[in-house]
A and B are shown apart, each in its own frame.
Chain A
Amino acid sequence: AQSVAQPEDQVNVAEGNPLTVKCTYSVSGNPYLFWYVQYPNRGLQFLLKYITGDNLVKGSYGFEAEFNKSQTSFHLKKPSALVSDSALYFCAVRAVVGGYQKVTFGTGTKLQVIP
């Protein structure tokens, strides 16, 4: 069975500092990886995805993520955090399992950027 782990329930970072939100996955076959962000009282919004190609993926709002196949990780990063980045972040993996396209989300990591 495929799975996604976000080991940190919450990440605190000072404004202007670099941030990392961790994600590891387990899947049979080629993984297709996504990051979504959920602001309070709003729906999930797409940030970025890895399908194939360059392991470093750049997305919305200055976020990027690095696909590491050997470590089965897809950590979300940003060089300089903003207070407005404070939100709930979800990692997701999509893969074909038994002829079905399974989509699995992690449990989410709350990012708190401190002014």
Chain B
Amino acid sequence: GAGVSQTPSNKVTEKGKYVELRCDPISGHTALYWYRQSLGQGPEFLIYFQGTGAADDSGLPNDRFFAVRPEGSVSTLKIQRTERGDSAVYLCASSFYGGSSYNEQFFGPGTRLTVL
């Protein structure tokens, strides 16, 4: 079946620009997560959605970062006034809730963001 998909796979932008990164989770997965992975590091948690609402956004580094999931399926991570330090691979993951918060996550291939 279809896994988690992310678009675009690569995004190059200039410092100060606005970018949107899209995640399509596995159908039926109510939980959705965004992570950021820098070279040589593990994924860094950004935000977690349960349905349409952000259950935990404590990982967002500052107010330039925002994410939405208006219909409880597709999510968009939005970064305003991009900085060179935002360059990383942005990962999306989804999981089935089913009453447990500890089901495994299924990851997408990531979007590689490069800010020049």
Interface SS of chain B: helix, strand, loop or mixed?
loop
B33 contacts which chain A residues (CB < 8 A)?
103
Interface size class of B (residues with CB under 8 A): 20 to 34
Of B40, B48, B56, B91, the residue contacting A44 (CB under 8 A) is: B91
Which chain A residues (38-97) contact chain B, with CB distance < 8 Å? 41-46, 49, 51, 90, 92, 94
User: Are B101 and A101 in contact, with the CB atoms below 8 A?
Assistant: yes
Q: Give the contacting residue for B104; candidates A43, A46, A106; CB below 8 A.
A: A46
**Nearest Cβ on chain B to A71's Cβ, whole angstroms:** 21
Q: Which residues on B sit within 8 Å (CB–CB) of A51?
A: 102
The main secondary structure of chain A at its interface with chain B is strand
Give the interface of A toward B (CB within 8 A). Answer: 4, 32, 34, 36, 41-46, 49, 51, 90, 92, 94, 100-108
A100: min CB distance to chain B, Å: 5
